Chains A and B, each alone.
Chain A
Amino acid sequence: MLIRFKIKEPGRRGFGLWFPVIIIWILLAALMLVLLPFLLLAALVTSWRGPGVRLLLIYPLLASVLWNLGGLTIDVDQKERVLLIDFI
């Protein structure tokens, strides 16, 4: 899956970028790994009153959202700016 990102302003040179989503996956996986102890701690602290163990579901849910991003298109054409984000 690729992300196509494009931004253009009148009178300026546009900026376009294509990059594979796997880069985000790798960065996010590293971030998740770093945050895991804190998440476990938060789950422990809030287990008495609060989300508790449900906090650990954030990881699979986040993965499911990222996995299903394919096909998402956001195309905004304003007078002063054109923005396109496309997951291909």
Chain B
Amino acid sequence: MNEERRKILDMLAQGKITAEEAEKLLDAVGDPGSGTGAAPGTDAAGRRPWKYLRVQVDPGPNSESGDRVNIRVPFKLIRAGLKFAAFIPREAHAKVNQAFKEKGMDIDLARITPQDLEEIVSNLDDMTVEVDGKDTVRIFCE
């Protein structure tokens, strides 16, 4: 509970304000549970609406290639591209599922709905991957 909400509830408990006034004040400061009054620059869930997925590869001290890669992909493009998943032929599903299984993921491609894909994309913002090997790979949102 944040400080403002606590103060309002204290005032209500002390009888300085009525329940109606408290309700109005609480609405004004926002209810984190309802998603209103989110901090500036955040979405309804209180998360910052990331725009891009970044992939950076920087050569490490032992890098053989010395390649430097910087890719920035808009989330809108990822969402648009994912819709093409509907065109994966059914015959290919078994092969894709098998490939997933070999990587330790028990996923049935036929059961993945557009809502699932949307959920995956909307949760990508929580992801940061950093791999330090010969090259340093960073995957993050910005």
B71 touches A74 (CB 8 A): yes
Q: A54-B86, A54-B87, A61-B83 are in contact. Are A68 and B77 (CB under 8 A)?
A: yes
- At the interface, yes or no: A57 with Cβ under 8 Å from chain B? yes
Q: A77-B67, A79-B67 are in contact. Are A65 and B80 (CB under 8 A)?
A: yes
Please count how many residues in chain B sit with their CB below 8 Å of the partner chain's CB atoms.
22
Contact indicator per residue, chain A 55-88, by CB within 8 Å of chain B (1) or not (0): 0011001001101111111111111000000000
From the candidates B66, B72, B73, B80, name the one contacting A79 in the complex (CB within 8 A): B66
Alpha-carbon distance between A78 and B81 when the two chains are bound, in angstroms? 27
Q: A57-B86, A79-B65, A79-B66 are in contact. Are A68 and B71 (CB under 8 A)?
A: no
B71 contacts across to A, CB distance below 8 A: 73-75
Alpha-carbon distance between A23 and B11 when the two chains are bound, in angstroms? 64
Q: Name which residue of chain A comes closest to B77, CB basis.
A: A68
B74 touches A64 (CB 8 A): no
A77 touches B68 (CB 8 A): yes
Q: How far is the CB of B1 from chain A (nearest CB, A)?
A: 38
From the candidates B69, B72, B81, B84, name the one contacting A76 in the complex (CB within 8 A): B69
B86 contacts across to A, CB distance below 8 A: 54, 57
- At the interface, yes or no: A16 with Cβ under 8 Å from chain B? no
Q: Please list the residues of chain A having a beta carbon within 8 angstroms of any beta carbon in chain B.
A: 50-51, 54, 57-58, 61, 64-65, 67-79
Q: Could you give 30 example pairs across A and B, Cβ below 8 Å?
A: A50-B89, A51-B89, A54-B87, A57-B86, A61-B80, A61-B84, A65-B80, A67-B80, A68-B74, A68-B76, A69-B74, A69-B77, A70-B74, A71-B51, A71-B52, A71-B77, A72-B74, A72-B77, A73-B70, A73-B71, A73-B72, A75-B69, A75-B70, A76-B67, A76-B68, A77-B67, A77-B68, A77-B69, A78-B68, A79-B67
